[in-house]
Structure 1
Amino acid sequence: MRSNGGNTEHISVVLRLLAWLIILASASVNQAASATIFPAEVTYSNRTEETEETKACEIILDASNPPSREAVKFVAFAGYNKHDGGVVAGFLMAAADLTASDKYQMVQISDVAFSSRAFTSLDHLNYEAYEDGTVMAATQAPVLAAAFVNAVLAGTYEVRFARSDSRREMRTYKIASPPEEAVRNSFVHCLELFANESSRIWRNI
């Protein structure tokens, strides 16, 4: 009887140990599966971009959270197609690490998404990934373009991505501040100019 009791106690201890290890493993998996970042450094800027096919107004978000060496660049754009004057809007996203030599090294990302209470890119934008690690998502639908731009200007949204060098860990950057008035006004003024240009193209088709 003592022997059986000893075995029972031993089995009980082993089972408790296994349960404890499972809990730790589950917590580790959950932690590795996702990370939410509230970046301490958030800056906005403006730029105008022109390619052979499009002209676009841009709002550029740079986000980082020292002492982490990771940095995120999110470029929201809206403009028109030079060939037919049609609307085009969306974003280009990239992530990089600050190296010991104070230079940024791009990292490969996937599963990119923009999400706010009013708009989600996964349901509405068309995606394209590039060899340098950046990902673009865009639409030519005027209603979706307007909804996306308004969501960016509202300033309460999140951008998500997975790093290929971290077992596809999802990284979510929560943005809680809108672009400054000067950046917003510059962007709106740019859109007004481009709206006139696209209208002229449309009328001449």
Structure 2
Amino acid sequence: MSFSEDKPYFHNIDFSTEPLPSDDFEQANFVNCSFAELMGITLTDCIFTDCNLSNVSFRNSKLDNVTFLDCKLTGIDISVAKDFALQVKFENCILDYAIFEQKKLNKSIFSNCRIQGADFTQADLSKSKFHNCDFSEAVFSNTNVSGVDFTTSKYFTIDPTINNVKKAKFLSSDLAGLLTRFDIIIK
């Protein structure tokens, strides 16, 4: 661990074998680190770059303005994180099978991410930003995607009869992903 201008900096540390030095981090940078658990941790204005957080549970963790860049987050469970001040940003990340169930993520940003098989059941994504994301087999059920622009994303299946899609934007070529439930053929 080193410090730069009073900001903690962690580089090349395997926190699955070493304990975290604290349970409260503010403006910390984690680079090329691995994690097994982040339960009960408070993260405020933190950045994770090139980290492996696969299958990490954020049970009772506070994620306030946390950015993940080029990280592997397969199977993470955000649904058990604290609701208060929850704000996350994902860029160039793998979020396959991540769980966002019942979370208010309306200020979150997902850019150039693979989000295959993720669960957004009953999540509020209403003001989230999605840019160039792959939603293959992602679950949207009773999800609020109102006002979300999906025009640069692909492979989503969102049933407008069970999700709030008011003012959401889609390309006409992606209409099949909205009409799957009706078992119709679109040419």
- TM bucket normalised to smaller: under 0.3
Q: Higher helix proportion, which one?
A: 1
| Higher gyration radius (CA) | 1
Q: Higher strand proportion, which one?
A: 1
Higher relative contact order (CA closer than 8 Å, sequence separation 6+): 1
TM-score between the two structures when normalised by the length of structure 1: 0.21
TM-score between the two structures when normalised by the length of structure 2: 0.23
